[in-house]
Amino acid sequence: MSETRNEQLAVLESMVRIRRVEERLAELFTQGNIPGFIHVSIGQEAVAAGVCSGLGPGDSVLTTHRGHGHAVAKGIELRRFMAEIYGRQNGFCKGRGGSMHVADRNVGVVGANGIVGGGLPIALGTALASQYRGEKTVTVCFFGDGASNEGTFHEALNIAALWSLPVVFCCENNSWAQFTPQSSYMKVTSVAQRAAGYGMPGTCVDGSDVTQVRAAAREAVERARSGGGPTLLECKVLRWQGHYVGDAQKYRAPDDVKEARTHDPIRSYAEVLGAAKVLEPGDLEKIEQCVKAEIDDAVAFAAASPMADPADLLTDVYA
Amino acid sequence: MPTLNIIQAVNDALRQEMRRDPTVVILGEDVGKFGGVFRASQGLQEEFGKDRVIDTPLAESGVIGTAVGMALYGLRPVPEIQFADFIFPAMDQIVSEVAKFRYRSGGQYTCPMVIRTPYGGGIRGGHYHSQSPEAHFIHTAGLKVVVPSNPHDAKGLLTSAIRDPDPVLFFEPKRMYRAARGEVPDGEVVVPIGKARVTREGRHVTLIAWGAMWHEADQAAREAADLGIECEVLDLRTLQPLDIDAIVESVQKTGRAVVVHEAPRTCGFGAEISALIQERCFLHLEAPVARVTGFDTPFPYTLESEYLPRAPRILKAVREVMAF
Ligand SMILES: Cc1ncc(C[n+]2csc(CCOP(=O)(O)OP(=O)(O)O)c2C)c(N)n1
């Protein structure tokens, strides 16, 4: 399937936007402007950008503690996204959620989640509701390889396959769960293998290659949309940074981190597009400028947004 | 005597009990090679090996379930749940299995284990790194619930918990992990489960607290003293079994009680304590029992300083019961 130049540039721009947003978040967090914790997905942008490029506004996304990229790629408005992470009243969740719980109903970001594995069963319900109402929308649930060991993963995959639900389970396998390497918590190295046990297709792609991610995601989303049921899509990625911003990764071999950083989904896609003459000289600079302006604007908006009001402490608990 | 913080005291107790008893085994997420996210098990895998300090997958239900089986077969597992907020995936194992095995097997099988978990707010952690879920477990018969406030008690109570024949939920006040420092003897320290401690004597009001809130209560008591109000401060240390005698003795003397906890107010443990006080001290009471607690909301992300009981709110309650 041939893609237009604009589509390709949009994917590149989406990855750049995620990278720059997270770099800025890390900086703002380090300066003390953001409460809580921040987990960035730097180096893993191809998954969010690649998968979400094939989704429409009516499709739903559930994400994790490492979820900025998915929300940004799904088209969340940066101003209120930033204000949310700042914990301010103008944030999408009135500043109640913060980085780990960003949600925006308008673009189908059902929510990031501080509970690892928390989103997996919820995806069954959004997918079932869509099926029930005869809509052709799909749900994508992002999660990590660590999460694939929670009971919720196994319950969710069985039910989704059994009921042919329109879900894509997208595992970002970065081979770490916090400070512990995968060999200490899983016997298999590929999460996609597990799909067979539930009776659904499982695919594994290089998650640093956005072209591969897009192709695999397109197939999975089409299957879901056309009534063909769920897919387990595994994207192998490399975690460039620590588990959270401020984690110096002393538990990791320096060479491992260095090696991870040689897999740069943005640089390699820019090279591919450059070689194909899709990306002309000056295009990337334009993308960077435009993204920077958006982020500057969002940060200014967040910083000027009012702090959470103590008078609101008791609201939104019940209708 | 060495000065330790709470995390060091916990580490010390784990190490000593593992040396003393080869059936003590630690398991949990990031506890092994990394030594735990708060460093509670630092150095233990090096000393005791991978068979006794086990890194598990992210699988809280699996971790506690494994501990159940180990305990039934004569081991003393000490599972760690990384944050108390992540205990809920294991709730079924804890409530349906851990708590009930002794009872339902007519005493044939028992489940001695210590589920260690950091709890509480004040670290800007938001919804899932801040909660104080102790009441759920106190409400579940068959579990003991222990909450130390200082390094000495952390070591002594953890030692007792590991030796206890019943399952113990051991809640560690994470905000005080490094902030609370104190002298802790090198060798064996045993603080009995089920015994509260009067940390300050006074004749006007009894302040009842545990864990991180004991520090706030103590602060409030100092400030009250400047106003001429003498508070008696009780650090409960164990919530189940509760040292009701210590509470009754104090409240019968003072005639006034203020209970402090971080957890939401409704059905928080303060409600039970308040009921017990009015059942046993009714004729001694000079004022209704006051509760200073978190609010009936999920844990707030940015409003935690409004949410958490702090000394000024406690002091206000003290003045109100005095003025009643
Ligand atoms: C139920 C639960 N248990 C433990 C944690 C603590 N925790 C947060 S992130 C994480 C590791 C997650 O690993 P993975 O799912 O692979 O995602 P990654 O961080 O690699 O993106 C852990 C253990 C949690 N948030 N929720």
Instruction: Render pLDDT for A24-76 as a digit per residue (tens, 0 to 9).
Output: 999 999 999 999 899 999 999 999 999 999 999 999 999 999 999 999 999 99
Question: How much distance in Å is there from the Cα of B194 to the middle of ligand 1?
Answer: 35
How far off is chain A from B140, nearest CA to CA, in Å? Answer: 23
Query: What chain A residue is nearest to B63 in terms of C-alpha separation?
Result: A150
Cα B55 to Cα B79: distance, rounded to the nearest angstrom: 10
Percent of the residues in chain A that have a pLDDT greater than 90, as a whole number: 97
Query: What chain B residue is nearest to A309 in terms of C-alpha separation?
Result: B303
Cα A280 to Cα B317: distance, rounded to the nearest angstrom: 70
Percent of the residues in chain B that have a pLDDT greater than 90, as a whole number: 98
**Active-site positions of B?**
129
pLDDT of residue A166: 98
- Ligand 1 close to Cβ of residue A147 (< 6 A): yes
- The span from the first CA to the last CA of chain A, in angstroms, equals 48
Mean pLDDT, to the nearest integer, of B224-238?
98
- Whether B28 has a pLDDT exceeding 70, the answer reads yes
Question: How much distance in Å is there from the Cα of A46 to the middle of ligand 1?
Answer: 21
Domains in chain B (CATH in brackets) are: 3-183 (3.40.50.970), 197-323 (3.40.50.920)
- Ligand 1 close to Cβ of residue B58 (< 6 A): yes
Q: φ, ψ for residue A69 (rounded to 5)?
A: -60, -40
Distances (CA, A) of A41 to A52, A67, A82, A141: 15, 8, 16, 16
Q: Spell out which residues of chain A touch residue B50, defining contact as CB-CB under 8 Å.
A: none
DSSP state of A104: B
pLDDT of residue A41: 98
**Residue ID of nearest Cα to ligand 1 atom 12:** A177
Q: Which of B58, B125, B302 sits opposite A185 (nearest CB)?
A: B58
Report helix, strand or coil for A283.
helix
User: In this structure, are residues B34 and A179 in contact, taking their beta carbons and an 8 Å threshold?
Assistant: yes
- Ligand 1 close to Cβ of residue A116 (< 6 A): yes
Domains in chain A (CATH in brackets) are: 5-312 (3.40.50.970)
Contacts of A225 (CB under 8 A, 6+ apart): A136, A137, A138, A166
Mean pLDDT, to the nearest integer, of B285-291?
98
Strand partners, B261: B293
Backbone region of residue A95 per phi and psi (left: phi > 0; alpha: psi in -120 to 50; beta: other values): left
> pLDDT category, A2, cuts 50, 70, 90?
low
Which amino acid, residue A304? A
Q: φ, ψ for residue B125 (rounded to 5)?
A: -90, -15
Q: Which of A117, A251, A313 sits opposite B297 (nearest CB)?
A: A313
pLDDT of residue A31: 97
| Helices first, then strands: H and E counts in chain A | 10, 8
Report the mean per-residue pLDDT for chain A. 96
Cα A97 to Cα A112: distance, rounded to the nearest angstrom: 9
Say if B105 is an interface residue toward chain A (CB within 8 Å).
no
Q: Nearest Cα to B281, choosing from B259, B313, B311, B314?
A: B259
Count residue pairs from A and B with Cβ separation < 8 A.
107
B29 and A37 in contact by Cβ < 8 A?
no
Report the mean per-residue pLDDT for chain B. 97
Tokens of B194: 């089920």
> pLDDT category, A213, cuts 50, 70, 90?
very high
B85 and A98 in contact by Cβ < 8 A?
no
Ligand 1 pocket, mutate which of B60, B64, B82, B174 (most atoms under 8 A from CB):
B82
Q: Spell out which residues of chain B touch residue A149, defining contact as CB-CB under 8 Å.
A: 57-59, 62
- Ligand 1 close to Cβ of residue A185 (< 6 A): no
- H/E element, B77: strand B76-80
Ligand 1 pocket, mutate which of A41, A45, A65 (most atoms under 8 A from CB):
A65
Question: How much distance in Å is there from the Cα of A29 to the middle of ligand 1?
Answer: 20
pLDDT of residue B25: 98
Give the residue ranges of DSSP H helices in B30-170. 44-48, 60-72, 91-92, 101-104, 134-138, 151-163
Cα A309 to Cα A6: distance, rounded to the nearest angstrom: 43
Say if A307 is an interface residue toward chain B (CB within 8 Å).
yes
Mean pLDDT, to the nearest integer, of B14-30?
98
- Ligand 1 close to Cβ of residue A48 (< 6 A): no
Q: φ, ψ for residue B260 (rounded to 5)?
A: -125, 125
Tokens of A51: 């998968």
Q: Spell out which residues of chain A touch residue B296, defining contact as CB-CB under 8 Å.
A: 314, 317
Question: How much distance in Å is there from the Cα of A146 to the middle of ligand 1?
Answer: 6
Q: φ, ψ for residue B50 (rounded to 5)?
A: -75, -20
Q: Which of B55, B60, B124 sits opposite A185 (nearest CB)?
A: B55
- Whether A178 has a pLDDT exceeding 90, the answer reads yes
pLDDT of residue A3: 81
Give the predicted TM-score (pTM) of the model: 0.96
pLDDT of residue A250: 94
Mean pLDDT, to the nearest integer, of B265-283?
98
Report helix, strand or coil for B170.
strand
Distances (CA, A) of A259 to A241, A268, B8, B251: 12, 15, 36, 65
B58 and A150 in contact by Cβ < 8 A?
yes
Q: Spell out which residues of chain B touch residue A95, defining contact as CB-CB under 8 Å.
A: 301-302
User: In this structure, are residues B147 and B138 in contact, taking their beta carbons and an 8 Å threshold?
Assistant: no
Q: Which of A87, A146, A151 sits opposite B89 (nearest CB)?
A: A151
Strand B114-119 and strand A180-181: pairing?
unpaired
- Ligand 1 close to Cβ of residue A145 (< 6 A): yes
A114 and B85 in contact by Cβ < 8 A?
yes
Report helix, strand or coil for A6.
helix
Note which residues in 21-40 of chain B have CB less than 8 A from chain A: 29-30, 32-34, 37
Mean pLDDT, to the nearest integer, of B124-147?
97
- Whether A1 has a pLDDT exceeding 60, the answer reads no
How far off is chain A from B127, nearest CA to CA, in Å? Answer: 8
The 3-state DSSP composition of chain A as helix, strand, coil percent (nearest 5) reads 50, 10, 40
- Ligand 1 close to Cβ of residue A180 (< 6 A): no
How far off is chain A from B291, nearest CA to CA, in Å? Answer: 18
- Ligand 1 close to Cβ of residue A65 (< 6 A): yes
CA of A115, closest atom in ligand 1: 26
Which amino acid, residue B121? G
Query: What chain B residue is nearest to A187 in terms of C-alpha separation?
Result: B57
CA of A147, closest atom in ligand 1: 15
Q: Which of A36, A146, A185 sits opposite B301 (nearest CB)?
A: A36
- Ligand 1 close to Cβ of residue A146 (< 6 A): yes
Which amino acid, residue B98? V
Q: φ, ψ for residue B117 (rounded to 5)?
A: -155, 135
Note which residues in 121-180 of chain A have CB less than 8 A from chain B: 146-147, 149-152, 177-180
Q: What is the pLDDT of residues A80-112, one digit of tens each?
A: 999 999 999 999 999 999 999 999 999 999 999
- H/E element, A225: helix A210-225
